[in-house]
Structure 1
Amino acid sequence: MKRQQAQIEKIQVTAGAILFRCQGDWTAKSLKDVLKYLEKEADSLFNMSVEWDVSGVGKVDSAGIMLYIHYHDLLKLQHCTIELTGAGAEYQNLYQLLNAHVSQQAKSKSGLLPQMLLPFTHIGQSVENLRQDINDFLSFIGEHSAALLSSLRHPASIRYASIVKNIEEAGVRALPIVALTSCLIGVVITYQSALQLQKFGANVFIVDMIGISITRELAPLITAIVVAGRTGSSYTAQLGAMIITEEISAMRTMGFDPHRFLVLPRIIALMIVMPLLILFADVIGIAGGMVVSNIHLNISYAEFIHRLPNVLDIKHVWIGIFKGPFFAWLIAVTGCFRGFQVSSNTESLGRYTTISVVNAIFLVIACDALFSVIFSELGL
């Protein structure tokens, strides 16, 4: 039988995961090109998830197995996780035989200079991953915007029933946790502020502090963080599960646009409910502060309610509500984007769900800081 030249192909699965697809005969006389390729590629892989697929390998001898063992150990030293898939009985038997007696030659490569350069290599890899993530995120926003414009031109194509269902999931069912969190924030702010105001006999000014701080900053920010942890993570998990079960691939095969059918209803629903959740959080947070003011500072409910409209300008309420759609868009887009990045395993699903929550909270806080600067410059 004619010998087939050994081949290897690197496929970028995600920003932090690659696939090495091996084909041909991995024997001593066929590995020359593969050896050159791996010498060039392996040194650039740090903190990566590497899947080594040998399902396409024909004949294999000790040279092929030793080559795999060498680069397996090398990538381990570079903090990569290695997964071998598609190995037949012959491959596994040779691997077990040779792995027990393999030399530590690969480990000797970790001398002083590579160890000194390792942090800089990690920084470079992190920067490259960040650049790739930003590029993918902007592409995702572009696809989402194109789907939105197409839906606006054809309103009948908008999935109103799906939007209503997502409003229930993201809004109505979030009311208990938003109420509890807002009430506790109002209680904590009142207790902490009361200790300082009592020293100056300025107990009545607690109404000013509670009204402005909760409506303008705390209620929007805390509500967005709660929604990011609850709804944003669920978006990633739902879409990621559909990736794993290949439902999204089936949708594309049948000619359905996943952005129009899956992403748009979620984003629109969250942008509708977020201002309402913030208004609800305003009421509950102020109510919690009012109760503590009555208990701790002896400010009656009637006095609190009478003073509140005089010290709380309506602009503070509107500023807090105005932030809602922007926070909702960031949370929904981030959750959906990370959901589409999930690969076909459950470990990836958990990883990207965690990443989506962290990213969404960071973007919400950064957006809130930007709004603070803009409103201060505008004198609002």
Structure 2
Amino acid sequence: MQSTRLQKATIESLQSKDEAETLRLRCSGDWTIDTLHDAPDALNKIANTSRNISIVWDVSDTGRVDSAGMLLFIRTSALLKKNNCSLQVVGTTSEQEKLYALLQKYSPEHSELKPAFFSRLVTPFDRIGRNFIAFLANLRDFLAFTGENFVNLLHAIVQPRSIRYNAIVKNIEEAGVRALPIVTLTSFLIGVVIAYQGAVQLEKFGANIFIVDMIALSVTRELSPLITAIVVAGRTGSSYTAQLGVMKITEEIDAMRTMGFDPHRFLVLPRIIALIIALPLMIFFADIIGIGAGMFISHVHLNLSYPEFIHRLQNVLTVKHVWVGIGKGPFFAWLIATVGCFHGFQVSKNTESIGRYTTISVVNAIFLVIACDALFSVFFTELGI
């Protein structure tokens, strides 16, 4: 019976008598993970001391070779080639050649051979390039998602019966009615802050009455739309991402597609329409709360009576200022709902991605709302509105 005991891997180096610059290596034994022992150190020594010579590597006496032995051969070959050595391998078998071809593709030799300084220098640029490519891919997907929603909206306009009115009403309740407490508190605090900060400065000049101008214009034109949109982005936008992400993990969205239902028409469109309806109403409500809070602080801190405040408010606050703030609502709502739903569809099939994309959704929605508000400010200023 043939023995199955493995033999220790050995490597022997012989200087050629015929050619002074030729080194002959001869392997013997089994080159497996259990028999390598001193072979890696011996090969490292040979690779580090051999430069600009020809090497003939004879492997005809080797027995079994596994992936560990072959990876050691691949690594040593790469080091020898790096030292400008010409390498010739003789005595290989077909099984060894197949194993070499398989492991060569996954060998880490290229990353190991990169100079450390060059690697550290290139890594930041590599990261920037990868992030930029990912950004472009993400932007492409977002534009495709927006286009699909626009097509579904046109289809809903042409065929009003296809609109899911019950879902829209339910989402208005979730995104609008249930958000009123936090919007009320936030708007009240904003009115208080503006009144207090303005009163401290105006009181120095005896211009207490102008606190009404500051509160009315800043609240209606800028602060109420912006703060309300940020609150809604953190509350409703994140919930849209989480809801759709869970539906994707539980394969409900795949089941809808299998049954012939378009997820965009049944899940995304009602949420977008509901938020477009609800956000302007919340902004108008926030205007009332913010001005009321400012009026209360003006009366307490500046001794400005309520009738005097209201009379000045009627002279200063025209309808156009209110409509400027409310008019921003549909645009903010579209951005928040679209971004929230888009990242919900990006969730992969694991729970960790829900938290990741929910965070990304909130950050992106708030950034886009602020950027959009800045564009509106420039636009209205140029038009003199």
The TM-score normalised by the length of structure 1 is: 0.73
Deviation, 1:108, is 7.0
Structure 1 counterpart of 2:212: 207
In structure 1, the partner of 2:151 is 146
RMSD: 2.3
1:178-197 Cα shifts (integer Å, max 9, x gaps): 00000000001111111111
Q: Percent identity?
A: 70
Q: Name stretches of at least 5 consecutive residues in structure 1 with no aligned partner.
A: 1-26, 28-60, 71-102
Among residues 294, 300, 303, which one is paired with 1:295 in the alignment? 300
Deviations 1:116-135 (A, max 9, x none): 11111111111111101110
Q: Which amino acid aligns with 2:278?
A: V
Q: 1:370 maps to which residue?
A: 375
What CA distance in whole angstroms lies between the structure 2 residues aligned with 1:224 and 1:303?
A: 31
TM-aligned CA deviation for residue 110 of structure 1:
6.5
Q: Which amino acid aligns with 1:319?
A: V
Structure 1 position 245, deviation (Å): 0.4
Counterparts in 2 of 1:333 and 1:184: CA distance versus 1, 3 Å? same
Structure 2: distance between partners of 1:108 and 1:230: 50
In structure 2, distance between residues paired with 1:184 and 1:169 = 23
1:227-306 equivalences in 2 (<5 Å) = 227-306=232-311
Q: Map residues 210-225 of structure 1 onto 2, 5 A cutoff.
A: 210-225=215-230
Whole-Å Cα distance in 1 between the matches of residues 110 and 323 of structure 2? 67
Shift of 1:62: 3.9
| 1:319 matched residue in structure 2 | 324
Q: 1:190 to 1:144 in 2, by over 3 A?
A: same
Which residue does the alignment assign to 2:175?
170
Match of 2:135 in 1: 130
Please report how far the alpha carbon of residue 355 of structure 1 lies from its aligned counterpart in structure 2 after TM superposition: 0.3
Post-superposition CA distance 1:275-309 (Å, at most 9, x none): 10000000000011111111111111121112111
- Give the drift of 1:151: 1.5
Alpha-carbon distance between aligned partners in 1 of 2:143 and 2:114, rounded to the nearest angstrom: 39
1:242-273 per-position Cα deviation (integer Å, ceiling 9, x unaligned): 01000000000110000100000000000001
Relative distance call for 1:63 and 1:183 in structure 2 (3 A) is same
Alignment of 1:69-84 (within 5 A): none
Mapped to 1, the partners of 2:326 and 2:320 lie a distance apart of 10
Give the aligned partner of residue 352 of structure 1.
357
Shift of 1:145: 0.9
Residue 48 of structure 1 corresponds to none
Query: What secondary structure is seen at the aligned counterpart in 1 of 2:384?
Result: coil
Aligned to 1:16: none
* Inter-CA distance 110–267: structure 2 relative to 1 (3 Å threshold): farther
Aligned counterparts of 2:68 and 2:376: Cα–Cα separation in 1: 62
Structure 1 ranges of 4+ moved more than 3 A: 61-67, 103-110
Rg (Cα) greater in structure: 2
Matched, 1:309 2:333: no
**Structure 2 segments unaligned to the other structure (5+ residues):** 1-31, 33-65, 76-107
Q: Alpha-carbon deviations, 1:85-108, whole Å to 9, x = none? A: xxxxxxxxxxxxxxxxxx999667
Question: 1:109 deviation in Å?
Answer: 4.6
Distance 1:65 1:191 in 2: 76
Cα distance 1:109–1:283, how it changes in 2: closer, same or farther (>3 A)? same
Q: Which amino acid aligns with 2:132?
A: V
Q: How many residues align?
A: 288
Structure 1 match to 2:187: 182
Q: Summarize the Cα distance change of 1:110–1:162 in structure 2 as closer, same or farther, 3 Å threshold.
A: farther
Cα separation, partners in 2 of 1:219 and 1:66, compared to 1, 3 Å: farther
1:194 pairs with 199, 206, 221, which one? Answer: 199
- Deviation, 1:233, is 0.3
Q: Deviations over 1:302-337 (max 9, x none)?
A: 211121111111110010000000000000000000
